[in-house]
Amino acid sequence: MTIEKNNWTLEEKIGQLFCIGFDGEEMNEAVLTMIREKHVGNVILFSRNITSADQVRKLTDSLKEEGSRKSPLFVAIDQENGIVNRIPRDEANFPGARALGYIGDTQFTKEISVATASLLREFGIDMNLAPVLDVNSNRSNPVIGLRAFGEDKHTVMEHGVAFMEGHESQGVVACAKHFPGHGDTSTDSHLGIPVVDKSYSDLLKTDIPPFRKVIVEGCSALIISHVIYPALGEEKLPATLSPKVINEFLRETLGFDGVVVTDCLEMKAVSDNDTPKAAVQAFLAGADIMVISHTFEKQKQAIELLLQKVQQGEITEARINESFRRVMEMKSNYSVLKRSEVEKDKEKLEEEAYSRSLFINVPQGFIPAKRNNHVHVLRYLKSQGSKAEDQNDQHLYFAASKVTVTESISSERVAEDADVTILVTDAGYDDETAQKLISTLSKKEKPLLVIAIRTPYILDNLPDTIGAVATFNPSPNHVERVFREVVQKIFDY
């Protein structure tokens, strides 16, 4: 499709500066209204919109058919892989960033990225809101964790560039996030306003390098975080709404002239400011595409409010043209003309990824269980995950006998009855209950194996006598696969 650069009305230009979400597996009246009457040029899909490969192809085809004849409607998605996985897992079941960071092979990260992007292109998806370039320096981080490539800026930088290059090779926009960094927060921006209260020099040393690197390498789009950064001169406003962060720091200091995309403006960190007003404020701060993922009324009001501000002379049409130019350049560079076939053997790539990302450390003298011995599996599952995660993965199942640890169940009694105890947990490193539980179980002088199914930090301070396994992925099918492999490798079943 040839993009028409002239003869756009003001209303059409403004529509290209918004990205909206909707409910359902087919187009509904709300999204049709936004595309036809408000000229929206970008749509974001979630798990709620996707059930199968055929269904999502039909959906994206119908959305693009309704889009402007002057420029393609872009379809975006959060397909980070791992715990943020919008596509059904029988279609895409690749490991997330933290697993790839653990593997430590940037060429393999690029192969995973190529396979992911190939699949997205096949489904008619043009933009992936990934990779996550946050350096997860705060181990208590409630929203990043496994979504980051690691705790080291070099690891994040190298794998982030590899992921971006893999997507670019398939004609899919890689929209890196969450600038200028969400890795040192202790608040989930879906639920509140995080503050990163570190010095300017520390930001430049730790959080900024991955973003600076992808900018130098030609990154087309970045997502701005809903985080307050006092060191960047902003005491009250999250980065999304701050001209000091976007216009001054990102544009002028770092020299980024690509597309700036907001995180969803219905998240708690900014929605208290009123979503339509927040959309205008983000635009004034320097954003190019405002994302409103859920509510039709807020989407409609935001577009109308931005148009009103221009008509009243509070915002110049030159400012509209500035963002419009960036969006059109991105679409011109990445427009999907035809779907490509998936070149890699997806199943083999998935299998290799998961086998390479499994961490197993069994101490010297660990006693293997025999078939006639009692192996008790205890679950201490605390986390419900961030709102960013795929809600289809919230329930975990294990093909083994198991006991759920609660206040009313004595883990000590369970350990007494067992020849070997396996503790499956998603606890963070500072979870006192998990630490006490491990301490109690370890005193029984019987083999104890701890399987960390989310971040591996709970394993850091384990005594040498305790077996440790890290999965880097709490999704049900992966945990079951890991469980079977661990039983086979360690217990010789």
Q: How many CB atoms lie within 10 A of CB 329?
A: 16
Report residue 343's pLDDT band, with 50, 70 and 90 as the boundaries.
low
CA 480 to mean position of chain CA atoms: 23
DSSP type of residue 392: G
pLDDT exceeds cutoff 60 at 79? yes
Q: What is the CA radius of gyration of the chain?
A: 24
Residue 99's closest CA among 429, 456, 476? 456
Residue 162: its pLDDT value, please? 98
SS (H, E, C) 150-190: CCCHHHHHHHHHHHHHHHHCCCCEEEEEEECCCCCCCCCCC
The average pLDDT across 197-212 equals: 96
263 is catalytic: yes
**How many residues are given for the chain?**
493
For 12, 22, 100, 131, 327, the CA distances from 35, given in Å and listed in that order, are 10, 12, 38, 28, 17
Q: How confident is the model at residue 60 (pLDDT cuts 50, 70, 90)?
A: very high
- pLDDT class for 138, splitting at 50, 70, 90? confident
Rounded to an integer, what distance in angstroms lies between the CA atom of residue 114 and that of residue 117?
Answer: 5
Q: How far apart are CA 31 and CA 38, in angstroms?
A: 10
pLDDT mean across residues, the chain = 87
Q: Which tokens in the block code for residue 204?
A: 């430049």
Choice among 167, 178, 190, 376 that is catalytic: 190
**Tokens read off for 237:** 């406003």
Domains in the chain and their CATH numbers?
10-344 (3.20.20.300), 358-491 (3.40.50)
- Which of 228 and 377 is assigned the larger pLDDT? 228
pLDDT of residue 194: 86
Residue-level pLDDT at 444: 77
Q: Where are the alpha helices (DSSP H) in 265-371?
A: 268-271, 275-285, 296-311, 317-334, 346-356
Distance separating alpha carbons of residues 391 and 240, to the nearest angstrom = 26
Residues near 144 by Cβ (< 8 Å), separated by ≥ 6? 132, 134, 136, 182, 183, 185
pLDDT tens for each residue of 142-152: 789 999 999 99
- pLDDT tens figures, 170-186: 999 999 999 999 988 87
In tens, the pLDDT along 274-299 reads 999 999 999 999 999 999 999 999 99
Please provide residue 221's backbone torsions phi and psi, each rounded to the nearest 5 degrees: -150, 145
Asked if 260 and 242 touch (Cβ cutoff 8 Å), the reply is no
Q: Is the pLDDT of residue 370 over 70?
A: no
Side-by-side strand order, sheet with 127-128? 259-262, 221-224, 173-179, 127-128, 74-77, 42-45, 18-20, 290-292
User: Does residue 467 register a pLDDT over 70?
Assistant: yes
What integer pLDDT is reported at residue 366 of this predicted model? 72
Instruction: Name the active-site residue from 184, 263, 393, 431.
Output: 263
pLDDT band at 140 (very low <50, low <70, confident <90, very high): confident
Kindly tell me if the per-residue pLDDT of 487 is higher than 90. no
**375 vs 307 pLDDT, higher one:** 307
User: What is the tens place of the pLDDT at every residue in 258-276?
Assistant: 999 999 999 876 766 699 9
- For residue 478, indicate whether it is catalytic: no
Q: How far apart are CA 476 and CA 297, in angstroms?
A: 36
The pLDDT of residue 428 is above 80: yes
pTM: 0.90
